[in-house]
Amino acid sequence: MIIEARGLAHHYGPEKTLSDVDLVIDRAGITGLCAPNGEGKTTLLKLLAGLQFPSAGELKVLGHEPRERPLDLLQRLYFLPSEPHAPKWTPTKIAHYYAAFYPNFDHQLYRENLVSFRVDPNKPLDRVSFGQKRRAQLSFALATRAQVLLLDEPTIGLDIQGKDQFRRSLIAGTEAGQTIVIATHLLSEVENVLDHLLLLADRTIRGYVDLGQAAAFYSFNLKPVKPPYGDKGYARRVPGGWLTVHADGRPSNTSLDLETLYLALTDGRLVMPGTLQTPLV
C-alpha cells in the first residue's frame, strides 16, 4: 500500500481543518488534489509528509506512520511546499549538499531538468526571480526520484514554457513508477497528465475518481443555450455557450473538462458511481 488513511482528522485548536478522511492509493500515477481555498489541501500534504500530526485516525505512507519520520520514509518521499525556502546557493551547490539525503537522486536528470527549465546552475537563487527559483526547486524535486512526490501548487510562478516542461517531466516521473500528488486549484494546467482526481470539500474527501473511467462514463456537451429546468445534470457558462455534464449515458459532442467535472461533483452534487472510485474503506 502506498498511502492509506482511515478516519483521519486534524484540528488547529478548536478549528477543524480535516475530518473523517478515508483514502487508499495503492498504485503509481499522478493524482490531482483539488479543493476550494482553505479546505485542507496543504494540511493533507503536510500530514502525509510528517510535518503535521493527526488529531485522530490512522495514516500510513509506504507502510510507515509519517509522524514518526523514519529514515526509510524520508528517503523515499519528497514534499515541495507552495512557497519553499530557497537557500542563497546555486542549484549546483544545493544538489551537492542535499542530494545525498535521497538514495535515488539522479544527478544527470537534475542537470537535464535545469537545462529544460532554462535555469543557470551556477547563479545563486537569491539573485533570480521567483519563477526561476520555482523552476530550480522543481528540477530538484523531480530529480529525487522519490517514490512519493507531494507538490503543493507547483505551477505558481511558472510561465507557459515552464508549465509545459513541468507536465513533460511529470509524465517521465510516472513512467519511472512514482506516485505523485499535486495539490492545485488550477486543474486546467495539469489535467492532461492526471490519472486520478482526489476531491476534497467540506474538509473531507468526497471521492477518488479514476479519470480514464470517468471520461467513458460522463457525457460532456457544449450547447448554445442553457439547458431547460429539470435537466438532470450540471451546466456551466463558458465561452461559446453552456458546457453540460451528465451521468445518464447520452452521447457527447466535446471532451472531458476536468474543472467542470469537479464543480459538478462538488457544487452540483452530480452522481459519482462507486465503480469510478478507488475503495476508500
CATH topology of domain 3-209: Rossmann fold (3.40.50)
* C-alpha cell at position 152: 503543493
Per residue in 52-85, pLDDT (tens digit) is: 999 999 999 999 999 999 999 999 999 999 987 8
d(CA 256, CA 202): 25
CA angle 76, 81, 83 (to 5 degrees): 150
Question: Domain map of the chain by residue range?
Answer: 3-209, 211-276
Per-residue 3-state assignment (H helix, E strand, C coil) for 104-168: CCCHHHHHHHHHHCCCCCCCCHHHCCHHHHHHHHHHHHHHCCCCEEEEECCCCCCCHHHHHHHHH
Question: How many C-beta neighbours within 10 Å does residue 26 have?
Answer: 11
Per residue in 8-55, pLDDT (tens digit) is: 999 987 788 899 999 999 989 999 999 877 788 999 999 999 999 999
Per residue in 123-151, pLDDT (tens digit) is: 999 999 999 999 999 999 999 999 999 99
> pLDDT-based confidence at 273, cuts 50/70/90?
low
pTM, full prediction: 0.91
With beta carbons less than 8 A apart as the criterion, state whether 66 and 47 touch. Answer: yes
Average of per-residue pLDDT values in the chain: 90
- The whole-number pLDDT of residue 275 equals 45
